[in-house]
Structure 1
C-alpha cells in the first residue's frame, strides 16, 4: 500500500517532468507542422504541458513505420518466448514507475491518486503481463482431414493495429488494446484522447526501454483528426476503439469506405442495476449502487447509472443509498483519502450540469446537483441522485458523470423490460436472495456482463471478456478472446500423396 501523504504527492507533482511529444518509430517526435495543444489539469485548470497535435503527415509517417516494422519481422518474427520476455520487462517497468504514471494520470484526468496507484496503473501492467504469459501457451489446430492431407489451422498477426482510446481510464483502456495486439505480433499505433495523453507517451518510452523494436509501438496524440485518419488509412489492418457510440459509427464508416479494415468497438452504456424486494443485503447493495455510479466520478462506460428498485423497499433503500453517496464528497485528487476527484474538463462538466438541469424538470432531485469547489479553478460535481420515470432523458442518455437515475418497478417482468429498453447493452446487475430468480433474470438481460448480488466485481480479472450488445459495440476486450481478435485465421492443407 502506498504510504505517501497529500504533501508528498504535491511535492512530487511540483517536480514532475512531463513529456508532450509523440512517439514515432522508436523516438520522441514533434508534430511535423509544429502544432501543439494545451494539456491542462482538471484539478485546478493549470497548464501541464503542450502536447504534439499530430496531423496527416504524422499519421502517414507512423503507419509507414509500423508497416515497415511488421514487414521486416522485427517483432512479429520473434519466437513467442522472446516476445513474452520483452512484454514482461515492460510490465515490470510500469510497476517500477508506478508513482510517476499514477501521478501523470491523476494530474491529467482528475481521478483520485488512491485509484491510480491501487487500480489503474497496476491493472495496466497486469494486462500486459497477462497477455505476455499467454503468448507461448496458445497454439493452433490439427484438423481431422482426409488421410492424404495434413490440415492445419493457425493464427497470424493482422499487421498494423490502430488503437483509439478514451480519457476516463487512459492507460487501462489502452492496455486492453495494445496488450493483446502486441502479444499477437502486430505493430500498434496508439491514439490517446487529447483530454488525457500523458501516460500513453510515457509508457511508449518504457516500451522502447524494455526492448520493443522501433515502429512496433507508437503514440500519436491529437484531437479527432488522427483517429479519423487512422480509421480511413489504407495501410491500417485493424482499428480498435473505445468511446462514444456516435464516434464509433464514424470510425466504422471510415473503415468501410477505405480498405474494409477490421473494426472493434467498445462504446457507450446506460446500465441497469436491479434490486428486488428480497435483496439479501440492502446495506451492501446500497453501497455497491453508490460505487457503481460515483466511482471515477461516474465517468465509466459500464456505470450503473439506472438503479431499478422494487417499490416495496424503495424508501428504505434510497435512504441507505444517500448515506453511501455521502462518502463520495469531491476533493483534491492528490489527497490519498479522497474518493471522488475532478471531472475531466470544462466541456464534460458543462455537459453533465446540463443533464442535471434537465433532470430537475423530469423528476425529484434527492441529492446533489451542484458544481462545487469553484474557487480551485477545477471541475467538480457532487454526487447527484434523481428519482425519475423510465422515459426521462437522464434515464435514457449516457451522461458520463456522477448522476444516478432511480426508477421504481413493481414486477420482475417490468424490471426486465425497463432494463432492456435501451439502445445499449454493456452491463447489468440483479440483486436477489433467490438464485433461481437471479439466474433467470440474468439470462433475460441483454448485456455483455451481468453481475448477481454485486456490481463491478472482476473488473481487473483478465479472464472475463468485456464488451456489449446492441449499440454498446462489438468484439470483446480482455480474455483470450481479445487475443484472437487481433489475428487472422489461416487454413493450410498439405497433400501427402
Structure 2
C-alpha cells in the first residue's frame, strides 16, 4: 500500500499499490479449435478473434463451427448417448463428474485468469466466486447421478437424449457448469455453443473432459456466432434446448421450437427490484445494493438494477450509497484490488451509454462515481440515477451494466406494485428486520428468486429461474434435474 497523507488514520481513504495476477497463468494459445467427438478439429466456419476487453488486444484466433460441424457434433452426441452414456450406471457417471470437478479445482487459478482475460471481470470475482461455484455444481450433480430413481420423479426416470445448450458471455464457465453438470448427471449428452466473445474457458473445459477420459461424444463444444446457435437449437437431432441470454433471442427460440417435440428451458433477462424498507439495517443494505448491481460490472441477468427505497430513509440510503461507491476501484481486471473490470464488448458499452443518455434526457438525476478510468479498454464508471419514474427507459429496460435506478415508495403495498410493474420476473431483494414482512413481501413479489437481507447468493442445491419474460424452467437443485429427464 502506498504511504500517502490520504490514508492517515481517520481519513477513510486508501491508495493501494497494483497487485496484478500473472497473465501467463492462463496458458493462452494462439489458436483454438472446436471440440467434437472427443477431439479438437478444424471447424469449417470463419475463424473469429477473441480479444481482451480491458486492453483491446487480440488473445487468440478461434475456429468456429458451420452447419456441417453442428450436424457432426449432434451425430456424435447421439451415438455416445445410445452407445454408452445413457446405459451407464449412475454410479459410473458420477465418477466422471467427480473427476471433472477435481480437475476444475486443480486448474482453478489458470481458468480464473483465462476467464478474466477473455471476459473482463475482476480476477477476485472469477477466482473467488465463479470457479468455486463451477466445481461445486459438478460435485453436487455427481452426487445425484445414482439417486434419480429415489428423487421423486416417478418410476424409472429416463434421460431425454441430446441437449443443445447455448450460453452467454457474462459468466462463461459458470453458465457452462449450470448446463452441462445436470445434463451429464441425468444421462444426457451435450452439444454446447459458448458466446462468440468468450469461448476460451469452454474450450479449456473440453481439455478437462479429455483429462477425465470422458467417453468421446458425451460433450461437444462448438464456438461460433449467432448463426451457429440458431442451427444447433433447430437441429432435428436435438431433444432438449437450454438457452441463457436475452429475452429477444429467447422469444425467437421459443417460436422456432413451437410445435416440435424438443423440450425447452429459457433463462432470460431481468430488471430486479431491490426493496429497502425503513427498518432495514442500512449499512448492510448498502453493501447488498452495491453487490446486487455492480458485481461483474452489472453484467448479471438478476442484477438489482431497480432500487426501491422507502421515502423516510431514501436520503440516508443515497448518501451512504454514494459514499460507498466512491471507494470502488475500476481498472485492470487482473489487479486483485479491482472491484469493477471492463465492459465485455464495444456493443454492450454503446448500449449502456445510450440508456444512460436516455435517463438524463427523461429527467432523472445522474450521479457518477468520480473514480479514475483507464486510458484504454472498455470501461464505465458506476452510475446512480435518482428521481426515477416507472415510465423511464432506465426503469423498464435491462441496462446490463453498472447503472442503478432509484425509485421511492411510501407503503409496503406500493413497493410491491412497483416491484411487479415490469415484464421481467427473475429475482428480487427485500431488506427489513421484520421476519413477517419478509415472508409477506416474498409471497407478493412475482420473481423466481427472492433474497432476504442479502443479494446474489447462489448455491447448486437451490433452483434458479424466472417468470414472465425472464423465461421458464429451473436450473440447479432437484428441480433443475427434472428439466433433463423424461418423467
What SS does structure 1 have at the residue aligned with 2:326?
helix
Q: Does 2:76 match 1:65? A: yes
| Number of positions where the alignment pairs a residue of Structure 1 with one of Structure 2 | 469
Is contact 1:372-1:381 (8 Å) kept? no
| Cα separation, 2, equivalents of 1:141 and 1:172 | 25
- Out of 20, 33, 41, the residue aligned to residue 29 of structure 1 is 41
Q: Deviations over 1:38-65 (max 9, x none)?
A: 1011010000111122110111111111
Unaligned runs of 5+ in 2: 1-17
1:278 aligns with: 279
Q: Does 2:444 match 1:444? A: yes
Is contact 2:48-2:64 (8 Å) kept? yes
TM-score, L = length of structure 1: 0.91
- Out of 131, 142, 146, the residue aligned to residue 136 of structure 1 is 146
Q: Does 2:475 match 1:477? A: yes
State the Cα distance separating 1:371 from its structure 2 match.
Answer: 10
State the Cα distance separating 1:89 from its structure 2 match.
Answer: 0.7
What SS does structure 2 have at the residue aligned with 1:404?
strand
Is contact 2:243-2:266 (8 Å) kept? yes
1:494 aligns with: none
1:327 aligns with: 327
2:3 aligns with: none
State the Cα distance separating 1:374 from its structure 2 match.
Answer: 5.5
Is contact 2:170-2:299 (8 Å) kept? yes
Q: How does 1:83-98 map onto structure 2 within 5 Å?
A: 83-98=93-108
Q: Deviations over 1:335-366 (max 9, x none)?
A: 01111100001110111011111111223434
Given the superposition, is the C-alpha separation of residues 324 and 8 from structure 1 closer, same or farther in structure 2, using an over 3 Å criterion? Answer: closer
1:432 aligns with: 432
State the Cα distance separating 1:300 from its structure 2 match.
Answer: 0.3
1:20 aligns with: 32
| Cα separation, 2, equivalents of 1:454 and 1:375 | 35
- Out of 462, 465, 475, the residue aligned to residue 463 of structure 2 is 465
| Cα separation, 1, equivalents of 2:104 and 2:64 | 25
Q: Does 2:129 match 1:113? A: no
- Out of 64, 76, 94, the residue aligned to residue 53 of structure 1 is 64
| Cα separation, 1, equivalents of 2:425 and 2:406 | 18
| Cα separation, 2, equivalents of 1:391 and 1:481 | 36
State the Cα distance separating 1:329 from its structure 2 match.
Answer: 2.5
Q: Does 2:104 match 1:102? A: no
What SS does structure 2 have at the residue aligned with 1:126?
helix
Is contact 1:160-1:236 (8 Å) kept? yes
Stretch of structure 1 that moved more, 361-370 or 75-84: 361-370
Is contact 1:356-1:369 (8 Å) kept? no
Is contact 1:18-1:198 (8 Å) kept? no
State the Cα distance separating 1:160 from its structure 2 match.
Answer: 0.2
| Cα separation, 2, equivalents of 1:217 and 1:428 | 34
2:414 aligns with: 414
1:267 aligns with: 268
2:88 aligns with: 78
2:10 aligns with: none
State the Cα distance separating 1:95 from its structure 2 match.
Answer: 0.8
| Cα separation, 1, equivalents of 2:372 and 2:255 | 40
State the Cα distance separating 1:78 from its structure 2 match.
Answer: 1.3
State the Cα distance separating 1:220 from its structure 2 match.
Answer: 0.3
Is contact 2:36-2:220 (8 Å) kept? yes
Aligned Cα root-mean-square deviation (Å)? 1.8
Q: Deviations over 1:380-416 (max 9, x none)?
A: 0000000111221101000100000000111111111
| Cα separation, 2, equivalents of 1:384 and 1:99 | 31
| Cα separation, 2, equivalents of 1:177 and 1:96 | 21
TM-score, L = length of structure 2: 0.93
